[in-house]
Amino acid sequence: MSVVKINVLTVPPEMRETLEQRFAARAGAVESSDGFEWFELLRPVEGTDQYLVYTRWRSEEDYQKWASERMGPAHSGEGQRKPAATDATLWSFEVVQHAAPKTG
């Protein structure tokens, strides 16, 4: 059963462009990870200053392996400038139903 991880990032308006540029610069960093299924960076349109970083994984184990090998060093702060987000919360879900467009 697939799992979804949503990282909720509180981003002040003046840091939005910085956050998006940093994600664009790391494009491809997760795509080759075993068990990775999907990524989306969702920009708020109105009523909130929170971005959603959506990733979908084949299993919790695949996510945990990636998080321990890749996310830790990438988020350690070494050599990084000031963080773009002022707060972060991780939400975890299991996919129990899904739908895709019909083809044909």
Domains identified in the chain, total number:
1
Q: Which amino acid is at 9?
A: L
Instruction: Give one DSSP letter per residue of 31-79, joined into a string.
Output: TTSTTEEEEEEE---SS--EEEEEEEES-HHHHHHHIIIIIHHHTS-TT
The whole-model pTM stands at 0.84
For 14, 44, 48, 56, 68, the CA distances from 75, given in Å and listed in that order, are: 21, 22, 24, 19, 11
| Domain assignment present for 13 | yes
Structure confidence at residue 92 as a pLDDT band (50, 70, 90): very high
Single-letter residue type at 5: K
Residue 88 falls inside a structural domain: yes
CATH classification at residue 45: 3.30.70.100
pLDDT of residue 72: 53
Q: State the CB neighbour count (10 A cutoff) for residue 84.
A: 21
Confidence of residue 102 (pLDDT cuts 50, 70, 90): very high
Which pLDDT score, from 0 to 100, does residue 77 have?
A: 52
**Average pLDDT along the chain:** 89
Write out the residue range of the structural domain in which residue 35 sits: 3-94
Position 78 pLDDT exceeds 80: no
Residue 20, domain member (yes or no): yes
- Tell me whether residue 30 is in a domain: yes
pLDDT at 104 > cutoff 80? no
